[in-house]
């Protein structure tokens, strides 16, 4: 028997909703898995999901962490593991032709500033623009550093031309840059050393979770049930 949407929307419908923050950067493939899973669970768990655009490069630098591109054995494992996770989470991921250049040379600072502007001014588009940027770099091997790419992602998400022109003219202002730094500092204050970094604010306080493989433990903490990566297709 398949779970229908009406049943899912009633799960966890009573009681105060738990604030769940996802600190994320679209340069991270594992964060895409966590992002999609949490977005699917917004109508399943008794949570208010808050997306927090963050600069992963700043987290790595401040904590002395090293990405898999700098550790050959870890990088080799990661590509095999991404294929498994792609199937498990049902996310259309494809490893780009030159992941080292994409991650280590081009980076994501402009993309994350763009998403920060959206969070500050047009938050209703934040989820879908984030998704479209992941689709561009981790599915279609497209550059996400150029204005043309940011524009294409925003248009795909339904941005109006006037709003888009304002965004492109304003996303690298000092105010936006400071907001991204501040949110990255918030993640660091919660103990972040990588992404995805998930913070659950329960009655017992705040608890942090790293990675896209902690969902059963997160569900236990929330007093919810983990129904797999896509609860809309899970079986009772």
φ, ψ for residue 24 (rounded to 5)? -145, 160
Neighbours of 65 (CB within 10 A): 13
CA distances from 126 to 18, 63, 114, 142, 199 (A): 20, 27, 10, 20, 19
Which of 25, 58, 47, 6 lies closest to 225 in space, CA to CA? 47
Which DSSP state fits 181?
A: H
Cα–Cα distance measured from residue 68 to residue 80, given in angstroms and rounded to the nearest whole number: 13
- How do beta strands 47-53 and 18-24 pair? parallel
pLDDT digits (tens, 9 = 90+) for 18-30: 999 999 999 999 9
Residue 50 and residue 19 in contact, taking contact as beta carbons nearer than 8 Å = yes
Tell me the DSSP string of 90-123: T------S-HHIIIIII-SHHHHHHHHHHHHH-G
pLDDT at 31: 98
Neighbours of 131 (CB within 10 A): 19
Protein fold of 5-233: Glutaredoxin (3.40.30)
pLDDT digits (tens, 9 = 90+) for 135-188: 999 999 999 999 999 999 999 999 999 999 999 999 999 999 999 999 999 999
Write out the two tokens for 15: 């009681």
pLDDT at 70: 73
- Average pLDDT, integer, range 222-229: 96
Residue 22 and residue 198 in contact, taking contact as beta carbons nearer than 8 Å = yes
pLDDT at 8: 40
């Amino acid at each position: 028997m398949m779970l229908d949407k009406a049943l899912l929307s009633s799960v966890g419908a009573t009681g105060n909703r738990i604030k769940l923050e996802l600190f994320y950067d679209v340069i991270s493939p594992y964060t895409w898995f966590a992002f999609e899973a949490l977005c699917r669970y917004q109508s399943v768990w008794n949570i208010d999901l808050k997306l927090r655009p963050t600069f992963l490069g700043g987290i790595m630098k401040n904590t002395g962490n090293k990405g898999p591109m700098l550790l050959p054995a870890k990088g080799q494992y990661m590509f095999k593991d991404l294929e498994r996770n792609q199937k498990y989470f049902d996310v259309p991921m494809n490893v780009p032709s030159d992941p080292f250049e994409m991650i280590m040379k081009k980076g994501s600072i402009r993309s994350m500033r763009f998403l920060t502007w959206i969070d500050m001014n047009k938050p209703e588009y934040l989820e879908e623009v984030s998704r479209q940027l992941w689709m561009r770099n981790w599915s279609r091997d497209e550059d996400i550093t150029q204005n043309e790419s940011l524009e294409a992602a925003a248009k795909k998400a339904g941005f109006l031309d006037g709003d888009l022109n304002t965004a492109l003219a304003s996303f690298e202002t000092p105010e936006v840059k400071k907001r991204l730094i501040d949110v990255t500092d918030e993640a660091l204050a919660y103990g972040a050393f990588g992404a995805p970094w998930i913070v659950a604010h329960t009655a017992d306080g705040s608890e942090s979770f790293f990675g896209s493989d902690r969902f059963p433990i997160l569900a236990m903490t929330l007093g919810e049930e983990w129904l797999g990566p896509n609860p809309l297709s899970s079986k009772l």
